[in-house]
Amino acid sequence: MADEPANPFKREMLAALPRLRAFAISLCGNASQADDLVQDTVLKAWSHQDQFEPGTNMIAWLITILRNQFYSLMRKAGREVQDSDGIFTEAMATHPAQYGSMDMLDFRRALNQLPPDQREAIILIGASGMSYDEAAGICNCAVGTIKSRVNRARAKLHELLGIADSNDYGPDAVSSPLVKRAFVA
């Protein structure tokens, strides 16, 4: 509907917005706080666009900015942003169509019960299309750390959602040995 923007930076930013916003909502579990984070991120990214290297992954860059904002807000607030019925209700009211099914609601509630570091890891790897390398860069930690966070997040979600333990934990050629090592060490 809007005509094609002439500014390539703007065009790329527009294209990245849906994913950035989905990341924000998944990470902080609160749609209105998430949209504030997205807005701050857009402003910050725009004013620092000279720091963006064209041809690199715009979404990874934006997510890095958003994530830093999120954690600095959390530190300022001196508390972790956790699931609460208030947040949960607000999300339902804001997005009745999308989050209306019990599946979605259950999932959202379970996701919000994860520690933020595990939550972001599983969102980045499992939904945002980031590679382990990119996720490690975004979270400023080792690839192995991302892998073990993802595995812990996955195990916890299985437990919270009461998903029957069939062969859901398909052996992961790389990360399961890593996790085993981490637990043994």
CB half-sphere exposure, 91, CA atoms < 13 A: 26
Q: Does 166 participate in binding other proteins (rule CB under 8 A)?
A: yes
Q: Does 99 participate in binding other proteins (rule CB under 8 A)?
A: yes
With respect to other proteins, which residue has the nearer C-beta, 75 or 101? 101
Task: Kindly report the backbone phi and psi dihedral angles of residue 127, in degrees, each rounded to the nearest multiple of 5, phi listed first.
Answer: -135, -35
Q: How far is CA 104 from CA 55, 60, 87, 111, 126, in A?
A: 35, 25, 15, 10, 16
Q: Which tokens is 57 given?
A: 């992954």
With respect to other proteins, which residue has the nearer C-beta, 58 or 81? 58
Among 95, 115, 117, 182, binds other proteins (CB under 8 A): 95
Write down the least CB distance from residue 75 to other proteins, Å.
25
Q: Does 93 participate in binding other proteins (rule CB under 8 A)?
A: no
Torsion 127-124-118-108 (CA) sign: negative
Report the C-alpha gap between 153 and 117 in whole angstroms: 9
Size of the site for other proteins (CB under 8 A): 64
Binding segment for other proteins (CB under 8 A), chosen from 64-72, 75-83, 134-142, is 134-142
Among 48, 82, 133, 183, binds other proteins (CB under 8 A): 133
Report the C-alpha gap between 87 and 185 in whole angstroms: 38
* Sequence letter at residue 5: P
With respect to other proteins, which residue has the nearer C-beta, 78 or 178? 178
Which residues in 28-47 contact other proteins (CB under 8 A)?
A: 35, 38-39, 42-43, 46
Q: Does 161 participate in binding other proteins (rule CB under 8 A)?
A: yes
Q: Collect all residues with Cβ–Cβ distance below 8 Å to 29 and sequence separation of at least 6.
A: 81, 82, 83, 87, 91, 108, 111, 112
Binding residues for other proteins, per CB under 8 A? 2, 5-7, 10, 13-14, 17-19, 21-22, 25-26, 35, 38-39, 42-43, 46, 57, 59, 95, 98-99, 103-104, 107-108, 111, 122-123, 125-134, 136, 142-144, 150-151, 154, 157-158, 161, 163, 166-176
